[in-house]
Every structure is written in C-alpha cells, then in structure tokens.
Amino acid sequence: MKLTLDGLTKTYKDKVALDDITFSFTPGIYGLLGPNGAGKSTMMNLITDNLVPTNGQILFDERNIGELGSEYRRRLGYMPQQQNIYPDLSLRRFLFFMASLKGLKKAESEEDISRYVRMVNLREVLGKKLGTFSGGMKQRALIAQALLGNPDILILDEPTAGLDPKERIRVRNLISEVAKDKIVIIATHVVTDVEFIAKEIIMLSGGKILRSGSPSELLRELEGKVRNIHIKDEDLPQVNERYKVSNITRDENGVIARIIADSYEDTFANETVRPGLEDLYLYLNGA
C-alpha cells in the first residue's frame, strides 16, 4: 500500500500554498510539522480530496485518487481539529450518523461502533451527549469516527490540541495502537506528540518540504550544535540576540540557557547536550 504525492502544487490566486511536493507514504505514522501557513492544512485537504491540486497528482497504489473517487474516500479516515461535534447528539447517534455518511450498512456500523468505542474507552458513555464530554473524550470520539470502516489512511489534525498531559499520552498511545497496517498522517504543532511514535517526520515551511526522515536521521544535523550555557540574568539579552534559545531554566547558580548554534565562541561555561526535534524545529524555522 502506497500513497504518493507527485509534483503536488496548490495555488490561491498569487499565493503558493504547496510548491511541487513529491513524497511517498507507506504504512506507519508520519508527523507533519510546520508553522502556521506552512502548507499542512492544504496538504491534508488535498489528500482527503477536499481540494483539487493546481498541478501534480495524488496516487493511491499507482491510481489517481480523482479517478478512484468514492472508492478512495471510503478508504480514508479523517479527524478534524475542531471539537464542535453536534453537542446535542449522543455518542451513539453521532457514530451511526458518521457511519451512514461512509456508506456502512447497519450491521457493519454496529460492529464497528462496538469495536472502536471499546478501543477508545468510551463504551460507558455511548448514550451521553457529546456536549457533556471533556476535551479528551471528544478527541477520542473523533478518533473513533475516523476509524469507522477500518480505513487504510488516517489523517489526524492536531489530535492532542488542548489536552492535559495525561490525556495527551493516552491519545498518543491510542494512535500507536491503531496505526498497524495503516498510513497515519498527524499534523501537529506539538513536536513531542510525534517525536517518539512517528517512523518519519516531514517538516514543511512555505509550502516546501524542508526536511524529511526518521527522527534519528534528522537529529544528526544538530550533533554538536545544541548546548546548555550557564549565564547570569544580565547576560540573557545578549544570548537571546546571538543564538536561538529553545529553553531557559534557573538553578541556585543562575540561568541555564539551551541554545542551538552552528558554532560557539563565547566564554560562558557550557556543555553539549543531546538534540531533540523541538531544537531542529527552532533551528529550521527561526525564533
């Protein structure tokens, strides 16, 4: 199974939202990272067939998705970012409604709903209205509806937005659980959500792919470039001006600034540290 973006371009009047993107997805989790306006939403809308590319094409197993039509869309699951999901509907009615939109028969719908509400741990609240759900429960309900029909491709838009750390971990583990034999694309601003579960990271900026690869491959670029420096409070303005600073902490001796720099010539006490994807994100996208 393979989903291929082939020279994919999307323009809006004089704005280029995606610029000649070529990339292939195979089963596994992909993290789609980038600042606002990088092209993440445009890419997702093209993959879900909500937009038509200006140039290029999207192929699913070597066939154009435009030609596949409804056959392709039945193999898609999409979790939107917004949580305004019919607050007056019970979870049961919501899931049956979404199943009907996907063309599932009643028996298939009942079987899928039973399976996926157990998977997302919402079985006990099937009869409750969505408007009474917490943010984490709504996110899990949206994951459940995306899974209806057992799609081959899952597109998840900010799946942990607004969640507390415990719910974020729960949703992240759930995504890992359902990702077997599926292409899962997660668009997020929360780098840690994909750093440890994605087989590959795609970093977008200005409609182009800046970097792509496994987290370990990408982080080789920052070897020796991330360090903690030990400074005084009055040194902070100078450090912020000269370096990209990804974190600032304090101890009994003063300030510890985590900086990313191609070279380091200051005399502050320092030690190199292991880089993370947040460091690379800052390195590529600026302060």
CATH number at 37 reads: 3.40.50.300
Q: How far apart are CA 107 and CA 99, in angstroms?
A: 11
Neighbours of 30 (CB within 10 A): 21
Domain boundary among 176, 201, 219: 219
pLDDT band at 287 (very low <50, low <70, confident <90, very high): low
Instruction: Clarify whether residues 28 and 128 are in a common domain.
Output: yes
pLDDT of 117 higher than 70: yes
| DSSP assigned state of 129 | B
Q: What percentage of the chain has pLDDT greater than the value 90?
A: 69
Least confident of 40-49, 142-151, 189-198: 189-198
**Contact residues for 53 (Cβ-Cβ < 8 A; gap 6+):** 8, 9, 10, 18, 46
- Mark 163-187 as b/e (b = at least 16 C-beta within 10 Å): beeebbebbbebbeebbeebbbbbb
- Residue 120's closest CA among 146, 101, 94? 146
Residue 280 has φ and ψ, to the nearest 5°, of -65, -40
Question: CB of 77 within 8 A of CB of 147?
Answer: yes
Query: For residue range 42-60, what is the model confidence (pLDDT) as tens digits?
Result: 999 999 999 999 999 999 9
Q: 3-state class of 248 per DSSP?
A: strand
Instruction: Clarify whether residues 105 and 244 are in a common domain.
Output: no
Instruction: Clarify whether residues 197 and 270 are in a common domain.
Output: no
Outline where 102-185 has alpha helix (H). 106-119, 135-147, 165-178
Q: 3-state class of 256 per DSSP?
A: strand
Q: In what order do the strands lie in the sheet with 153-157?
A: 76-79, 153-157, 183-188, 28-33, 200-205, 208-213
Instruction: Clarify whether residues 215 and 249 are in a common domain.
Output: no
Q: How far apart are CA 241 and CA 237, in angstroms?
A: 6
Range of the domain at 24: 3-219
Q: How far apart are CA 41 and CA 44, in angstroms?
A: 5
What is the model's pLDDT at position 83?
Answer: 66
Instruction: Clarify whether residues 94 and 134 are in a common domain.
Output: yes
Instruction: Clarify whether residues 13 and 107 are in a common domain.
Output: yes
Tell me the average pLDDT of the chain: 91
Instruction: Clarify whether residues 143 and 272 are in a common domain.
Output: no
**Nearest-5° angle of CA 138, CA 142, CA 147?**
145
Region 193-204: mean pLDDT is 91
**E-strand stretches of the chain:** 3-12, 15-25, 28-33, 55-60, 63-64, 76-79, 153-157, 183-188, 200-205, 208-213, 226-231, 244-251, 254-260, 269-272
What is the model's pLDDT at position 202?
Answer: 96
Instruction: Clarify whether residues 152 and 261 are in a common domain.
Output: no
Tally of structural domains, the chain: 2
Q: How far apart are CA 115 and CA 78, in angstroms?
A: 18
